[in-house]
A and B are shown apart, each in its own frame.
Chain A
Amino acid sequence: MPSPVSIYVVHHLKSKVATKLASDLFDWFRLSLLTENQSNAGLPVYFRRRIVEARLQPDISFSDSDLNIVVLLVDQEMVGDIDWRTALVRFAKSARTWNKKHVGKNRVQILPIAMHEGLYRIPEVYENFNPIRSLDMPLDQMTAFLRRAVIEAAARFVRADNSDVTPPLNVFLSHAKRDGRQIAEYIRDSVRSFGQMVAWYDANDLPYGGKWKSEMMKSARTDTAAMVATVTDTYPSRQWCRREATEARTPVRLNRAINRPGIWKVQPVVGIYNLGNLWTRPMPMLEGVPRIGWDAMEPRKTTERLVDRLALEVMLGLVHRKVAVSIARKQTKRTDICYLTWVPDTWTLSKLRQIMLAGKEDVAKIRYIVYPGYGLAKTELSELDSVVQSFHRDSQLVSFEEAMSW
Chain B
Amino acid sequence: MVNASLLIAISSGGDNAELAEQGIGMDHVEEMSVRLARRLLSDGHRLAWGGTLGNPNQRLTMRLIDSAHQWVDENAASQVDVTKPDTWPLVNYSAWDSYKSISDEQINKLVGICNFIKIDPPSVAEAELLGPLEPGRATRLRSDALTAMRKLSSAQVDLRIVFAGRIRGAKGWMAGILEEVVCSLELDKPIIIIGGFGGCSRLIADYLSDLKALWPEQLNLAACADPVRDATLTVDERDQLNQRMGRARELLNENRTSLHTKANVSGVSSDELLLVLPSVNENAREIINVCASIAKKLSNK
Contacts and interface: CB of A to CB of B under 8 A. Distances in A.
Given A13-B16, A34-B63, A401-B285, A377 B42 contact: yes
Given A22-B25, A26-B27, A374 B35 contact: yes
B289 to A, nearest CB: 9
Contact of B16 (A19, A30, A402): A19
A381 to B, nearest CB: 9
Interface in B1-60: 16-17, 20-25, 27-28, 30-31, 34-35, 38, 42, 59
A58 B31 contact: no
A46 interface: yes
Contacts of A58: 21-23
A49 B20 contact: yes
B74 interface: yes
B100 to A, nearest CB: 25
Interface in A10-56: 13, 19, 22-23, 26-27, 30, 33-34, 37, 40, 45-50
A26 B24 CA distance: 11
B66 interface: yes
Contacts of B22: 58
A33 B16 contact: no
A26 B22 CA distance: 16
Contacts of A354: none
Contacts of A47: 16, 20, 23-25, 27
B73 A378 contact: yes
B24 A405 contact: no
B16 A49 contact: yes
A26 to B, nearest CB: 4
A33 B21 contact: no
Contacts of A13: 16-17, 20
A209 to B, nearest CB: 43
Interface in A98-141: none
A57 B30 CA distance: 22
B23 A46 contact: yes
A378 B20 contact: no
Contacts of B25: 22-23, 26, 47, 49
A97 interface: no
Nearest to A58: B23
Nearest to B38: A377
A57 B21 contact: yes
Contacts, number: 68
Contacts of A46: 23-24, 28
Contact of B21 (A22, A23, A50, A379): A50
Nearest to A378: B42
Interface residues of B, number: 25
Contact of A48 (B23, B28, B34, B74): B23
Contacts of A34: 59, 62-63, 66
Contacts of B16: 13, 19, 47, 49
Task: Please classify the interface of chain A as helix (H, G, I), strand (E, B), loop, or mixed, using the class held by over half of its residues.
Answer: mixed
Interface residues of A, number: 28
B287 to A, nearest CB: 12
Nearest to B27: A26
A49 B16 CA distance: 9
Nearest to B34: A33
Interface in B239-295: 285
B79 interface: no
A371 B22 CA distance: 29
B206 to A, nearest CB: 16
Contact of A377 (B20, B23, B31, B71): B71
A221 B17 CA distance: 47
Contacts of A57: 20-21, 23
Interface in B74-130: 74
Contacts of B73: 378
Contacts of A374: 35, 285
A13 B24 CA distance: 12
A382 to B, nearest CB: 8
Nearest to A23: B27
A34 B21 CA distance: 26
Interface string A352-385: 0000000000000000000000100111001000
B70 interface: yes
B245 to A, nearest CB: 28
Given A40-B35, A47-B20, A382-B74, 16 more contacts: A13-B16, A23-B25, A26-B28, A33-B30, A33-B63, A34-B59, A46-B28, A49-B16, A50-B20, A57-B20, A57-B21, A374-B285, A377-B38, A377-B70, A402-B285, A405-B285
The 9 closest A-B pairs by CB, nearest first: A50-B20, A49-B20, A26-B27, A378-B42, A46-B23, A58-B23, A33-B34, A47-B25, A401-B285
30 contacts: A8-B23, A13-B16, A13-B20, A22-B25, A23-B25, A26-B25, A30-B31, A33-B31, A33-B34, A33-B35, A34-B59, A37-B70, A46-B23, A46-B24, A46-B28, A47-B16, A48-B23, A49-B16, A49-B17, A50-B17, A50-B20, A57-B21, A58-B21, A374-B285, A377-B38, A377-B42, A377-B71, A378-B42, A402-B285, A405-B285
